[in-house]
Amino acid sequence: MNTAWMISPAENLPGSPLHIMPEICVERPKLLTDWYRHNGFEYDNQGQPWVPELRQAYAFKHLMEKKKPIIANCDIIAGTTTAKEPTGVVIYPDSRAP
């Protein structure tokens, strides 16, 4: 049985991310809100209706260009979804519940 994915005993020590209270990360909502305020949501700067897929693509491009890259020394895969270290909760303003 491959147990490489299981939590090691060292991760159960105080101070590990499992014992730290998560914080809300406002980086994504702030970047997207700034982009939508500047470029419009339903209508673009010229008053033309946005094609929703293009609007989302441009907003995502802006997000990826402005997002703070974080690579920790202990990461197996580089990068994270949150700017809060070591644990953060991401808010997705660009998605909604049905």
* 53-79: pLDDT as tens digits: 999 999 999 999 998 887 777 767 776
β-pairing, 88-90 vs 23-25, is: parallel
Query: Residue 70: inside a domain, yes or no?
Result: yes
pTM for the full predicted model: 0.67
pLDDT of 35 higher than 60: yes
Residue 17 is assigned to a structural domain of this protein: no
Query: How high does pLDDT run on average in the chain?
Result: 77
- Could you give the number of structural domains in the chain? 1
Residue 43 located in a structural domain: yes
Contact criterion met (CB below 8 Å) for 92 and 25: no
Mean pLDDT value of segment 29-52: 93
Q: Is the pLDDT of residue 10 over 80?
A: no
Residue 25 within any structural domain of the chain:
no
How far apart are alpha carbons 45 and 48 in whole angstroms? 7
Domain that holds residue 40: 30-98
Domain assignment present for 9: no
